[in-house]
Amino acid sequence: ERPSVIPALHHIPPGIQCAQDYEALADRFIPAPAHAYIAGGSGQEATLRANLAAFDGIGIAPRLLRDVTAGHTRVKLLGRELRHPVLLAPVAFQTLAHPGGEIETARAADATDSCLVASTLSSFPLEDIARATRGDKWFQLYFQPRRESTLDLVRRAEAAGFGALVVTVDASVQSPSLRARRAGFRMPDDVRPANLQHHVQPGQVTLSGGQSLIFQGLMSEAPTWDDLAWIMGQTALPVLVKGVLHADDAHALQAMGVAGLVVSNHGGRTLDGIPASLKALPRIREAVGAGYPLLLDSGIRGGSDIFKALALGADAVMIGRLQVYALAVAGALGVAHLVKLLREELELCMALAGCPTPADITPAFIER
Ligand code: FNR
């Protein structure tokens, strides 16, 4: 018998002593099918495992006797100074983890000066999320079946005060993972994409004889290079692209005027078998050169992972699953505590490695 699900706490349980502890505790706070949906990766989960293995597989090369007393974690991104390089990744349907969902997350972002990235598929309207944090916030855009609907989302994000668009391009075909399906996961009726009027589920696609569900069905609405150029022409907001793993794509995106990239494999939730994003990072940094905004996500579970990502070329990182786990355990308090832990873990790592500031964290601090 599985113990019953615990409602979110109003305090931090003593079992939480590092960021990753939220992962171990989360399955007590999230119903089993929803937990499988959040935790799982696509296919046989090779990419999901590769993300974690990539961080474990590289070592830090510390330097001794350096003065770090002027240390800090500030980074510059898109012309803004962020207090720390930990962003909250876009995560859909956060009411699966906590009834307050994205609003709790936004309050945590506000309390910890974290840049929040709100998902197109949020369970609260983007305007409500925007109101819950005074800090930096970006809107993650999924292209919609009709250009008018896509543009409508962009106009709403602009009006609500989001400072950048993050266009996710690696997840045009989405379905719950095998793990989620085996666990009997179905999206509960009361968990809806609050920003969208019409949300097409895979089962609702109509096809005529001989057509493929994937190519002519689901992918017929997927954005192309032309669509990306079109949306960039419609908005004055900086546009970042999320889901980049190939150096040639990175180079082409930079050349067309994209403001920055998120090196990501969607936390191992899209195409199984693609590389760990940390592995792809050095080549992408090389392709875009120094000074071009690069973020990384997928597999970050602690401060030393953030250090490794920064060392290999990222300006900042985004946190996906840990954010949801902390939300489930203790709502806004949990997410704020998670960010605090990640920051402290990063600072400790920087101090012991001899890097007073993020700019000091270079490939020289990775073991060869
Ligand atoms: C995601 N991710 C995601 N990405 C995105 O661009 N839009 C979205 O709506 C979602 N939704 C979503 C839901 C859930 C439950 C998860 C776990 C992830 C991907 C997310 O932004 C990020 O790329 C990964 O989660 C990063 O990997 P880690 O930190 O989970 O290992």
How would residue 211 be classed by pLDDT, with cut points 50, 70 and 90? Answer: confident
Ligand 1 and 321: CB distance under 6 A: yes
The position carrying tokens 């001989």 is 210
Q: What ligand 1 atom has the least distance to the C-alpha of 299?
A: 31
ipTM of the complex in this document: 1.00
Domain of 277: which CATH number? 3.20.20.70
Ligand 1 and 116: CB distance under 6 A: no
Is 100 within the bounds of a domain? yes
- pLDDT exceeds cutoff 80 at 204: no
- pLDDT exceeds cutoff 90 at 273: yes
Query: How far apart, in whole angstroms, are the C-alpha atoms of residue 138 and residue 260?
Result: 13
Contacts of 209 (CB under 8 A, 6+ apart): none
pLDDT of residue 152: 98
What are 286-327's pLDDT values in tens digits? 999 999 999 999 999 999 999 999 999 999 999 999 999 999
Ligand 1 and 319: CB distance under 6 A: yes
Contacts of 367 (CB under 8 A, 6+ apart): 58, 59, 60, 61
Burial 182-204 (b: 16+ CB within 10 A, else e): ebebebeeebebbbbeeeeeeee
Backbone angles phi, psi at 367, to 5 degrees: -65, 135
By residue range, what is the domain housing residue 111? 21-172+224-365
Rg of the chain's alpha carbons, rounded to an integer?
Answer: 20
Burial 303-312 (b: 16+ CB within 10 A, else e): bbbbbbbbbb
Is 97 within the bounds of a domain? yes
Decide if 116 contacts 129 (C-beta within 8 A): yes
Decide if 179 contacts 134 (C-beta within 8 A): no
Other C-beta atoms lying within 10 Å of the C-beta of residue 239? 21
Q: Is position 266 annotated as part of the catalytic site?
A: yes
DSSP-derived 3-state class of residue 282? helix
Is 196 within the bounds of a domain? no
Query: How far apart, in whole angstroms, are the C-alpha atoms of residue 103 and residue 110?
Result: 10
Ligand 1 and 140: CB distance under 6 A: yes
Is 152 within the bounds of a domain? yes
Ligand 1: residue whose CA is nearest its atom 10? 91
Query: How far apart, in whole angstroms, are the C-alpha atoms of residue 182 and residue 224?
Result: 33
Is 243 within the bounds of a domain? yes
Is 151 within the bounds of a domain? yes
Query: How far apart, in whole angstroms, are the C-alpha atoms of residue 98 and residue 356?
Result: 37
- pLDDT exceeds cutoff 70 at 81: yes
Is 204 within the bounds of a domain? no
The position carrying tokens 């946190």 is 319
Ligand 1: residue whose CA is nearest its atom 29? 320
Query: How far apart, in whole angstroms, are the C-alpha atoms of residue 45 and residue 340?
Result: 30
Q: What ligand 1 atom has the least distance to the C-alpha of 120?
A: 9
How many Å is the maximal CA-CA distance in the chain?
Answer: 71
Is 74 within the bounds of a domain? yes
Ligand 1 and 38: CB distance under 6 A: yes
How many domains would you assign to the chain?
1
Average pLDDT, the chain: 96
> Residue 295: in which H helix or E strand, if any?
strand 294-296
What are 228-239's pLDDT values in tens digits? 999 999 999 999
Q: What ligand 1 atom has the least distance to the C-alpha of 96?
A: 15
How would residue 199 be classed by pLDDT, with cut points 50, 70 and 90? Answer: low
Can you tell me the mean pLDDT for 191-213? 78
How would residue 203 be classed by pLDDT, with cut points 50, 70 and 90? Answer: low
pLDDT of residue 253: 98
Ligand 1 and 242: CB distance under 6 A: yes
**Distance of alpha carbon 228 from the chain centroid:** 20
pLDDT of residue 18: 98
Distance 299 CA to ligand 1 centre (A): 11
Query: How far apart, in whole angstroms, are the C-alpha atoms of residue 62 and residue 56?
Result: 16
How would residue 201 be classed by pLDDT, with cut points 50, 70 and 90? Answer: low
Residues in a beta bridge with 60: 366
pLDDT of residue 213: 82
Q: Which of 129, 321, 335 should be mutated for ligand 1, with most atoms under 8 A from CB? A: 321
Q: What percent of the chain has pLDDT over 70?
A: 97
Q: Identify the active-site residue in 35, 98, 266, 337.
A: 266
> Residue 342: in which H helix or E strand, if any?
helix 321-353
What are 84-140's pLDDT values in tens digits? 999 999 999 999 999 999 999 999 999 999 999 999 999 999 999 999 999 999 999
